[in-house]
A and B are shown apart, each in its own frame.
Chain A
Amino acid sequence: MTAEMTMTDIRFLAPETLDDAISAYAAAQGAARILAGGTDLLVQMRNGVARPGVIIDIKGIGELTDIAEGADGSFTLGAAVSGAVLGEHPRFGTVWPGVLEAINLIGSTQVQGRASAGGNLCNASPAGDSVPAMVAAGAVVTVQGPKGRRQLAVEAFPAGPGRTNLAPGEIVVSFTLPPRPPGSGDAYLRMIPRTEMDIAVVGVGVNLTLADGVVTAARVGLGAVAPTVLLVADAGRALVGSRLEDAAVDAAAAACRAACNPIDDKRGTIAYRVRAAGVLLRRSVAIAAERAGRN
């Protein structure tokens, strides 16, 4: 890549199979970028942050754009499925309303026509909205590269701000969300100073399963308060076995605050972020529990 390289020097590929995409990606030896919706990549290119020699558009690959509900009730989402398409799916939003809300918070209505959960994960921003909800959901991400296919938990995917644990040549293929037991509900809330068109100062995803009013499973994902999105296991543990009494929810909120390792920046102070994490945990739990009661 040379300094004189301009937009016109970029090769654009739109493979129709995953194998073709992976070969092209490997062949480019690090000079290529994967394009799903492009809502992060094109902005980075305009800013001069990204100057790829090859762009590989994965939207033409079936497996990356499918939404499949398994016989066991699990869901598999192609990495390039846009927020708008997912929002129109007849079932997904009723089973995973929190995950859908989180994905639908990415960008504006126009951006939703392109932006995908796969791209949001690969952008590896600690403030990515879909990621805490996916972590709470216990989603597993399937990746494939020259050495084959593997799966990892969503919370194991980011390595730091803007960095992932993808091996060289690997592409995100899909997310798998587990089957839902009866009495399950999820929710995602974020704090932004505006009402929309903003970036999370704190984001909390909560996923609960209740049986006879007792929490049997709970996962909490926490965003924008540490270098990567966190699975707050202590918060989940504080809720499991409880009837969501104040003490249990307070303990979960305290676990979220304790998990925070934020920075002071233009988007929020450390003190503010830590405090808001606890508030949003409480509010997300209330919404998830209400949803669980209906399912």
Chain B
Amino acid sequence: MNAIDNKWIGQRTIRPDGADKVTGRAGYSADNAMPGMIWAKILRSPHAHANIRGIDTAKAAALPGVKAVVTARDITEFPVDTPVMLGIQDMRWMSRNVMAREKALFHGHPVAAVAAISEEIAAEACRLIEVEYEVLPHVIEIEDAIRPDAPLLHDFLRHEGKPSNIASTMVNKLGDIEAGFASADVIIERSFKTRPVHQGYIEPQACTVSCTADGKVTIWSSSQGQFMVRAMTALLTGIPQSSIRAIPAEIGGGFGAKTVIYLEPIAVLLSRKSGRPVKMVMSRDEVFRATGPTSGSMSTVKIGAKKDGTIVAAQGTFHIQAGCLPGGPVRGPVGCSFAPYEIANVLSVGYDVVSNRSKVTAYRAPGAPLGAYATETVIDELAETLGIDPLELRLKNSAGKGTKAAYGAVFGDVTFKETIQAIRNHPHYAAPLDRAPAKGVRRGRGVASGFWYNAGGESSAQLNITEDGNVTVTTGHPDVGGSRASIANVAAELLGIDHSRVSVLIGDTSSIGFSNLTGGSRVTFASAMVVTQSAEKVITQLRERAAKIWKIEPEAVAWSDGEARPAGANAGQFPPLTLKELAAKANEMGGPIGAGVQLTTTGADPGFATHVVDVEVDEELGIIRVLRYTAAQDVGRALHPDYVEGQIQGGVVQGIGWALSEEYLYDKQGRLDNASFLDYRMPVCSDVPMIEPVVLELPNPKHPQGVRGAGEAPLVPPLAAISNAVYDALGKRFYSLPMSPPKVMEVLGG
């Protein structure tokens, strides 16, 4: 697909961080250590829901080796009636999530923390902390939480004027929904349930923090945004941002979940109290119990169409789990579910529902997979009812230029149709499928599509020419998915130099300008934009230097293939000056060469994806396996194809787990019952086939390289695609996930 004549953009160059990662040298969060460092542990609530009457830390503080103890009293209190927004996060809730204040809201909610000279002593001290709990009735599931007699988590939440566990409501509306359904020939309405799933990153949260006697704080931790770490820590500790330096470690996966913090403010307070550097590392058990996951959901989707397949009305009601504090990804299902389609009448309503679970965090295309699961299943049923091929039905109704989406956007040159056509024309879609290869074995094929907004936002970059004529590029974004490799390709391309001469680094909060989170499929879009503008400024400087040396006008100098060349009337008059030659003369001819750009980027275009999948069902044991999977997506431009393909493959694999095996299971006391990789069943390599990505490159005209974004859209279609394929195999529909073996056997009966 590399239609443009690029030397580096679109090439599969070796990633800058690759050697360190494969040789084990890369420094992740837990790899840092400091002289004099002590260890901290968190005491967590043993109850799913309880008032905290009192906390006595005296015995813990008196244990030899203990250096500091903190509770919620040490953390900034934000009154519940005034929002304190930081991006999409409300610090009122973040404060209470990091450490329980009035109430313990889930089993595993932090209640206190201790720093001591060893992990063992810190853990022993936690056991010595006496907490007086008043245990309250708890509620875990959505359907229980929204009952009128449900135990209420927060007395300050109101829904329709009454105390409620529904924290907020979101409505997207277009046209006249009732008139729309009245004009429909066929209406299909179905209800769906999904379970919470964890992002499943390999690296547990960890940090090392040093708070010095003069009040300066340094934080080493991995996250999806060092500036987020700094800002949240500042708000939760009252320390000004200028006194905090957040240094990003290599990150071992985030998938959205590391867009918030858990440990850093606690470690800062413990370090300030003790005067010692403090290290904290979560166990896997703590990661499962108290970070993430994303929401479970309860949805109803109703779609009406004409006999010819024209969709005339669509209505969605989405109850989304927030966890124990408000802030579930309601915008995902409400806005994304119907966005791929041109529908005149839409009513999409979402409810943010709290319950006694850990507070949810973002997970790739937050909330969108939940909505697409419902919508894309109903569309599959609609296609069957109307006798229209499911891809043709999607094509007929696909959004295009000028389509107004219910969430408010009027689309420009969107490329949903192209993803459908790519799957329709792919050999997979036409390949013969042996539907009953053996007794008790059935196979089926399914399709589904998905949408994600994509995003721009704040980014900063600095591009410097070294004295020996090479290049360093610094951005402010943690590299979760290969962004350094993509940026190296862009910088080498623009400067016309060999890729190996470009070094790409991630700056800390004191060395580079503000940069927003790595998330929402925005980083390659935004950082390529600021790096491009920085490179253009540097090229201007280089042309000016050459012009000065040649004593001609800068406009008469062209930059090409890594060297300045006299152009126009002066062409051929002087031998070209290479980057190395210009760098050698830089200091005598005007000073160091380099430029930085800080920008709120705009122009992100939405991402669309269409997937086709073949599954095989063992009818005797209820085991579903994915046999073949093809995923088409328009990414605008794949700056580095390996990492675009990796995004698509990774998203699909996560979708397979979500559809078939992953779920949070709670016991009757409201405790998570499967807080380990053994019993929280993410797919392993042998569970998934090689996912075939079909990378479409239809350039985004508003981006210098045409980038749209890649990371979110691939996780939107898989839940419905797999469910539709299972229906195709068995002739029975599933309306809840995961389609685990016991559930499959229940549906099959017998």
Q: Mark A residues whose CB is within 8 Å of B.
A: 3-4, 6, 191, 193-199, 201, 266-269, 271-272, 275-276, 279
Contact = CB atoms under 8 A, between A and B. Distances in A.
B678 A198 contact: yes
A268 B681 contact: no
17 contacts: A4-B120, A6-B120, A193-B740, A194-B681, A194-B683, A194-B684, A194-B686, A195-B684, A195-B687, A196-B686, A197-B684, A266-B673, A266-B674, A268-B742, A271-B742, A272-B741, A276-B621
B742 A269 contact: yes
Interface string B736-750: 000011100100001
Contacts of A196: 684, 686
B681 A272 contact: no
B650 interface: no
A275 B618 CA distance: 13
B745 A272 contact: yes
A198 B742 contact: no
Nearest to B285: A47
A191 B686 CA distance: 15
Nearest to A7: B120
A126 to B, nearest CB: 15
Nearest to B622: A272
B623 interface: yes
Q: In the A-B complex, list the 10 residue pairs whose CB atoms are closest, starting with the nearest.
A: A272-B742, A195-B686, A279-B620, A197-B684, A269-B742, A266-B665, A266-B674, A266-B673, A195-B687, A196-B686
Contacts of B742: 268-269, 271-272
A157 to B, nearest CB: 24
Nearest to B677: A197
Contacts of B620: 279
Given A195-B684, A201-B741, A279-B620, 16 more contacts: A4-B120, A4-B124, A193-B623, A194-B687, A195-B625, A196-B684, A197-B684, A198-B678, A198-B681, A266-B674, A268-B741, A272-B622, A272-B742, A275-B750, A276-B621, A279-B621
B681 A193 contact: yes
Contacts of A198: 678, 681
Given A266-B673, A272-B741, A272-B745, A193 B661 contact: yes
B678 A193 contact: no
B679 interface: yes
A215 B124 CA distance: 61
Contacts of A6: 120
A266 B745 contact: no
Contacts of A271: 742, 745
Contact of B679 (A195, A267, A275, A276): A267
Contacts of A3: 124
B661 A275 contact: no
B660 to A, nearest CB: 8
Contacts of A272: 622, 741-742, 745
Interface string B118-132: 001000100000000
A272 B661 CA distance: 15
A276 B744 CA distance: 13
B621 to A, nearest CB: 6
B562 to A, nearest CB: 47
A86 B742 CA distance: 34
Nearest to B673: A266
Interface of B: 120, 124, 620-623, 625, 661, 665, 673-674, 678-679, 681, 683-684, 686-687, 740-742, 745, 750
Contacts of A266: 665, 673-674, 679
A199 B686 CA distance: 15
A289 to B, nearest CB: 17
A268 B674 CA distance: 12
B724 to A, nearest CB: 21
A44 B661 CA distance: 26
B738 to A, nearest CB: 9
Nearest to A199: B678
Contacts of B686: 194-196
Nearest to A196: B686
Contacts of B661: 193-194
A271 B621 CA distance: 12
B330 to A, nearest CB: 29
Given A4-B124, A199-B678, A276-B621, A193 B673 contact: no
A199 B684 CA distance: 13
A266 B671 CA distance: 13
Contacts of B741: 191, 193, 201, 268, 272
Contacts of A279: 620-621
Contacts of B681: 193-194, 198
Contacts of A193: 623, 661, 681, 740-741
A108 to B, nearest CB: 9
For B625, B674, B679, the residue with the greatest tally of chain A CB atoms inside 10 Å of its CB is B679
Contacts of A276: 621
Contacts of A194: 661, 681, 683-684, 686-687
For B622, B681, B742, the residue with the greatest tally of chain A CB atoms inside 10 Å of its CB is B742
A199 B620 CA distance: 19
Contacts of A197: 678, 684
A198 B730 CA distance: 26
Contacts of B740: 193
A193 B678 CA distance: 11
Contacts of B665: 266
B621 A191 contact: yes
B459 to A, nearest CB: 39
Contacts of A195: 625, 684, 686-687
Contacts of A191: 621, 623, 741
Contacts of B745: 271-272, 275
A50 B183 CA distance: 69
A6 B117 CA distance: 14
A43 to B, nearest CB: 10
Nearest to A108: B684
B40 to A, nearest CB: 18
Nearest to A5: B120
A271 B661 CA distance: 18
A33 B446 CA distance: 53
Contacts of A267: 679
Contacts of B687: 194-195
A50 to B, nearest CB: 16
Contacts of B623: 191, 193
A194 B668 CA distance: 26
Nearest to A276: B621
A8 B750 CA distance: 55
A272 B687 CA distance: 21
Contacts of B120: 4, 6
Nearest to B661: A193
B119 to A, nearest CB: 9
Contacts of B673: 266
Nearest to A280: B621
A201 B742 CA distance: 11
Contacts of B625: 195
Contacts of A269: 742
B115 to A, nearest CB: 18
Contacts of B622: 272
B229 to A, nearest CB: 29
Nearest to B678: A199
A272 B684 CA distance: 23
A72 to B, nearest CB: 39
A285 to B, nearest CB: 14
B42 to A, nearest CB: 16
Nearest to B684: A197
B107 to A, nearest CB: 15
A194 B623 CA distance: 9
A125 to B, nearest CB: 12
A276 B745 CA distance: 10
A276 B750 CA distance: 12
A172 B541 CA distance: 78
Contacts of B678: 197-199
A269 B740 CA distance: 11
Contacts of A4: 120, 124
